[in-house]
Structure 1
Amino acid sequence: MIYLDHAATTPLDADVRAQMLRWMGDDAGFGNPASDHAAGRQARAAVEQARAQVAALIGAQAQEIIYTSGATESNNLALIGALEFRGLQGAHLITSRVEHKAVVDTCRYLQTQGVRVTWLEPQASGAVAAQDVLAALRADTVLVSLMWVNNETGAINPIAQLAPELRARGVLFHVDAVQAAGKLAIDLAQVPVDLLSLSAHKIYGPKGIGALFVRKRPRARLAAQIHGGGHEQGMRSGTLATHQIVGLGTACEIARTRLDADAAHLRARCAELEQRLRALPGVLRNGAAEIAAPHVLNLSFSGVDGESLRARLPDLAVSSGSACSSATREPSYVLRALGRDDVLAGASLRFSPGRSTTAAQIQQAADQVIDAVQFLRALAPNHPGAR
């Protein structure tokens, strides 16, 4: 199998695994980080070292990192927590129609609780325009939530441009940075975002652990969503999983040291694949290449049925959209928001190479897709969009 679905999840890095195993044995690592004895202090030291490693990846301070079970929880804590602390009634929130489901569904829930939500449309490039965000601001706007990099198209939103504008207006800014961390340079000392979500398993760390950056100055205040014990500065109670946290910290440290090399490698692999596949007629890129993150390439193939195309690629691990919404079997809501009809949205593939992806694998993957598309077009020349 050629694995080109790293935007969905990445394999566990060998060094990350080794560090985690140190905290999973019987003779060490089992102490509760909240306990005030030698075993507890040992675990707490590992937890705090990891906190500093996470912070270093995004230009934050260690005390601004709150551990969660992953980005979905981080997004929920940021959105619901910020609005509950302020008071839900009469609050206004701005987001976009192409956010991850963890933000979209949380915003829909908040609507049922009396929060007014403005849903912005993306540009043809896949990004949300900064001027559209600023134009949507109102006197009662409490929070803006946008992803740094779109998980389906790779489009980069103008986060650095928007952050100081929102800070000047006293509006909280939450950013889902799951697809940006480890791919783009992030420096929150320079970009005044208030809340930022991260996930370990997108950067070669373990599943089940993530973090939420919560700015200290000016302080972003949240209402806790999990109660009991007052862990994580009272924002997220629950015994900390030392081995998972060590895995997150190690993955962040590796991502930080490899950032430039990884970005160059991923950009080269995506460019090779796009050049090969777009030699076919009727292949459209979803999202503009000039504002795309280095690791995501999304293409629509006219003249074929999407399910049939995926069925013809049994040895190729790619995605038809976000892994978190693939169970619906519906065409991507992100691509439909970009103007693709249901047929083209359904006949789209997201390719996301990783650190170990070779040029030879890219060539093999391209050959498999080209063979499948040509076979299906010959089989159904009258299929909508066939050329």
Structure 2
Amino acid sequence: MEAVYLDYASTTPVDDRVARRMADCLTRDGVFANPASRTHAPGRAAANAVEQAREQVATAINGDPRGLVFTSGATEADNLALKGVAGFQRDRGRHIVTAANEHKAVLDVCRALEFDGFEVTRVQPRGDGTVTPESIEGALRPDTVLVSVMHANNETGTINDIGAIARVVRGHGARFHVDAAQTGARLELDVEALDLDLVSLSAHKTYGPKGIGALWVRRRPRVRLLPQMHGGGHEHGLRAGTLATHQIVGMGEAFALAQSERDADRAHAEDLRARLFAQLDTLEGVRDNGAGAQRLPWTRNIAFTGVEGEALAAALADRVAVATGSACTSASTEPSYVLRAMGQPADQAAEAVRLSWGRMTTTEEMEHAARTLVDTVSRLRHGAAVA
């Protein structure tokens, strides 16, 4: 049996239905033309396909499609949001608030902005990994121009109350950015009801292709950004470059499917979680990091006392694919900065692995993976060879 893939938080497989739509945009008999070439029929067909996808993505988050800017992924969307607002607002204020357990795509941009003369306050999450509205409110200053807090954490799956945080930020007059790469259309996200200003989205966390994402930008009241890429008037002048029709169409289809199948996907994920923990409950010394907080039904961060996460992941590698943290920091041997920000000592943080599953994970795969995980932990604890 090939390895059971439990690293959906890193990337999801592309749904077959999405892949078929993408293939229709690649070859001579498909919608292959440059969407910017609107002087001829093939170009207009490509432009129409892009606009349909823009509508699909925006509809999935209940946002105005005119505010959706396609990017190369959520990382670029984060860069455009943070640097764009900071650049446009720098004469009004140079203070930014974020959380210490944000994704590196936000934290590294904040560090770069510090070199550019901005001050950044990184609030600490609670022990369960959530960022409270009170902590954000306490960090705000008269010169705060931007707050960035993720919807759900990529390592622990903890979900922040971004609606409550948005009300705090709105009352202050700053802009509020949300990295929603881990949720997108898979979890209900209503940008209008939540009163969000900027939202970063990713396709490859939502059964779509890699290399495409989007930044949704509020139009009323209008959020102004300083463009970070120049070279044409694409995407309302905010992001230059020829649009990748096949990837954009893939993202649109992925988000439409995620929206229509949201309840079924969630029920399936919760069933798989129950099957996983039915096995884990037979072990002693299991810590469910983030327990007590609202979490994504398809992501759990688990630590096994006495077993290093790196050793466990290596022992499982050919049978069960798990992660020891964010894929963007997997080359690091340091304990997870996310868990450290939650107050865990280094030795405990080093025992954690992340397990994440999704639409294509079968019940048989999860039950096999759970049994393999329990057996491997037991063998490692007793110093036995792992088969």
The answer, yes or no, to whether TM exceeds 0.5 is yes
Secondary structure at the counterpart of residue 146 of structure 2: strand
Distance 2:107 2:282 in 1: 36
> Contact 2:185–2:259 at 8 Å: present in 1 too?
yes
For the Cα contact (< 8 Å) 2:84–2:228, is it kept in 1? yes
Q: How does 1:46-65 map to 2 (within 5 A)?
A: 46-65=49-68
Alignment length (residue pairs): 380
Contact 1:120 1:133 in 2 (8 A): yes
Work out whether residues 133 and 168 of structure 2, in 8 Å CA contact, stay in contact via their aligned partners in 1: no
Distance of 1:252 and 1:323 partners within structure 2:
22
- Equivalent of 1:332, from 331, 336, 339? 336
2:351 to 347, 350, 373: 347
Q: How does 1:104-119 map to 2 (within 5 A)?
A: 104-119=107-122
1:31 is paired with a residue whose SS is coil
User: Unaligned stretches of 5+ in structure 2?
Assistant: none
Compute the displacement of 1:360 (Å).
Answer: 2.2
Task: Give the 4+ runs in structure 1 shifted more than 4 A.
Answer: none
Question: Structure 1 228/310 Cα, relative in aligned 2: closer, same or farther at 3 Å?
Answer: same
Partner SS, residue 201 of structure 1: coil
Amino acid at match of 1:217: R
Cα root mean square deviation, aligned: 1.4
**8 Å contact 1:152–1:334 — kept in the other structure?**
yes
8 Å CA contact 1:176–1:197 kept in 2: the answer is yes
Aligned residue in 1 for 2:101? 98
Is contact 1:284–1:301 with CA below 8 Å preserved after alignment?
A: yes
Mapped to 2, the partners of 1:31 and 1:325 lie a distance apart of: 37
Counterpart for residue 385 of structure 1: none
Partner residue in 1 for 2:174: 171
Among 265, 272, 276, the alignment partner of 1:273 is: 276
Pairing 1:198–2:201 present = yes
Are residues 1:245 and 2:248 paired? yes
Deviations 1:338-360 (A, max 9, x none): 22222222221111111122222
Aligned residue in 1 for 2:4 = 2
Superposed, 1:276-355 pairs within 5 Å as 276-313=279-316, 314-355=318-359
Local SS of the residue matching 2:230: coil
Query: TM-score if structure 2 supplies the norm length?
Result: 0.95
Per the TM alignment, residue 269 of structure 1 is displaced from its structure 2 partner at its CA by 1.2
Match of 1:12 in 2: 14
**Please, what TM-score do these two structures have when normalized by structure 1?**
0.95
Percent same amino acid among aligned pairs?
Answer: 50
Aligned partner of 1:263 in structure 2 is: 266
Q: 2:45 matched to which residue of 1?
A: 42
Q: 2:189 aligns with which of 186, 209, 213?
A: 186
- Distance in 2 (CA, whole Å) between partners of 1:47 and 1:268 is 36
Structure 1: 5+ residue stretches without partners: 381-387
Contact kept? 2:200, 2:216, Cα under 8 Å = yes
SS of match in other structure, 1:95? strand
Q: Distance in 2 between matches of 1:54 and 1:183?
A: 12
Does 1:361 find its partner at 2:387? no
After superposition, the Cα gap between the structure-2 partners of 1:374 and 1:28, relative to the gap in structure 1 and judged at 3 Å, is: closer
Check if 1:122 corresponds to 2:159. no
